[in-house]
Amino acid sequence: MSAAAILLDGKTVAGKVRGEVAARAAELTGRLGRQPGLAVVQVGEDPASSIYVRNKRKAAAEAGIASFAYDLPAVTIDSDLFALVERLNRDERVDGILVQFPLPKRLDATRVMDAIDPSKDVDGFHAVNTGLLAQKRPALRACTPHGVIRLAAEYGIALRGLRATVVGASNIVGRPMALELLLAGATVTVCHTGTRDVEAEVARAELVVAAVGKPHFIPGDWIRPGAAVFDVGINRDANGRMVGDVEYDRAVVRAGWITPVPGGLGPMTIAMLLSNTVEAASRRLEARRG
């Protein structure tokens, strides 16, 4: 007999986080004399990015965060993008800066991450914020990994001592995810292109985070019975259907908990971005007050 997993309902938890953010934003608006501000920059017109960016701007406005939109043409050159980032670093109305990735290939994403003031780095991608997380003193934390931690907490999944496997080692999800799980006291394995036996690493994990970006990269029957499965993937399959990195239909009958795609970490990522924006506004206010 197989029992289906508990669904980790990112949409509902994200709604709760956004409610908390709206209350903090209202309180900060009183103290700052203006709304907390989030600048979202898009370069070019990648269709998936356009959807994400629109959702981020809309969610910010709904939470009482002032949204500043910058849409630059795909032909934008480095120096123009850096000039904008510098301007936003100095703009007192702006508490958070997000430059949507992927950038057109000519542009250097690492240099863009480096250029953002770490105190406004609401993506948590800057080396300073990643380094602080690595040293167990998190400040602004990468949104998707932080969303995994919050979602686990909401469902009472205790992370301390848990055997966790992260599949994918990117700077924006896999690596900060491993650091978040380590911070939470899990025993962490990270799989990457050099990993000899990904199946074995997944099969012994009590918690799996899939952040590969390939549809159904992880077959459902790799999942250890009862495991918690967090699927970060947002992919289109051959029929144009949105699917995750995990073969959901076969994983759901083995897992103890699982995130749906869509409706799992997508909404959580946006909610944690808003949370970072009020966090950045609050920290900047405290820093000014000394």
Question: Is residue 105 annotated as part of the catalytic site, yes or no?
Answer: no
**Residues binding ligand GUN: what is the number (CB under 6 A)?**
8
Nearer to ligand GUN, 35 or 269 (CB): 269
**CB 116, min distance to ligand GUN, A:** 10
Q: Which of 269, 275, 276, 282 binds ligand GUN (CB under 6 A)?
A: 269
Closer to ligand GUN by Cβ: residue 232 or 252: 232
Cα–Cα distance between 106 and 104 in angstroms, integer?
Answer: 6
> Of 95, 121, 123, 231, which is the active-site residue?
123
**Of the residues 94, 119, 121, 123, which one makes contact with ligand GUN according to CB under 6 A:** 123
Is 135 an annotated catalytic residue? no
**Based on CB atoms, which residue is closest to ligand GUN, 122 or 183?**
122
143 makes contact with ligand GUN (CB under 6 A): yes
Tell me if 98 contacts ligand GUN by CB under 6 A.
Answer: yes
Interface with ligand GUN, residue 277, by CB under 6 A: no
Active-site pick, 100, 120, 231, 245: 100
> Least distance in Å: CB of 162 to ligand GUN?
25
Residue 210 as a binder of ligand GUN (CB under 6 A): the answer is no
CB of 48 to ligand GUN, least distance (A): 8
- Cβ distance to ligand GUN smaller for residue 72 or 143: 143
Shortest Cβ distance from residue 8 to ligand GUN (Å)? 19
